[in-house]
Amino acid sequence: MKIFTKEDVLLRKKEFLQKIKDGAIFICPTDTIYGLSCNALLEKSVAKIRKLKERPNSPFSVLAPSLQWIEKNCYINKNTVTQKWLNKLPGPYTLILPVKNTAVVAFNVAPQQKNLGVRIPAHWFSEIVKESGIPLVTTSANKAGQPFMTSLENLDSEIVAGVDFIIYDGPKETRPSKIIDLTTGKVKER
The rounded Cα 9 to chain-centroid distance in angstroms is 18
Q: Report the candidate in 113, 124, 136 with the shortest Cα–Cα distance to residue 59.
A: 113
Higher per-residue confidence, 189 vs 125: 125
Q: Distance (Å, rounded) from C-alpha 46 to C-alpha 136?
A: 10
pLDDT at 74 over 90: yes
| pTM: predicted TM-score of the whole model, two decimal places | 0.94
pLDDT at 113: 86
pLDDT band at 79 (very low <50, low <70, confident <90, very high): low
Q: Supply the CATH classification number for the domain 2-189.
A: 3.90.870.10
What is the CA angle 164-1-36, rounded to 5? 45
Residues in a beta bridge with 180: 95, 189
- What residue spans define the domains of the chain? 2-189
C-alpha span between 190 and 179 (Å, rounded): 5
Per-residue pLDDT, 78:
72
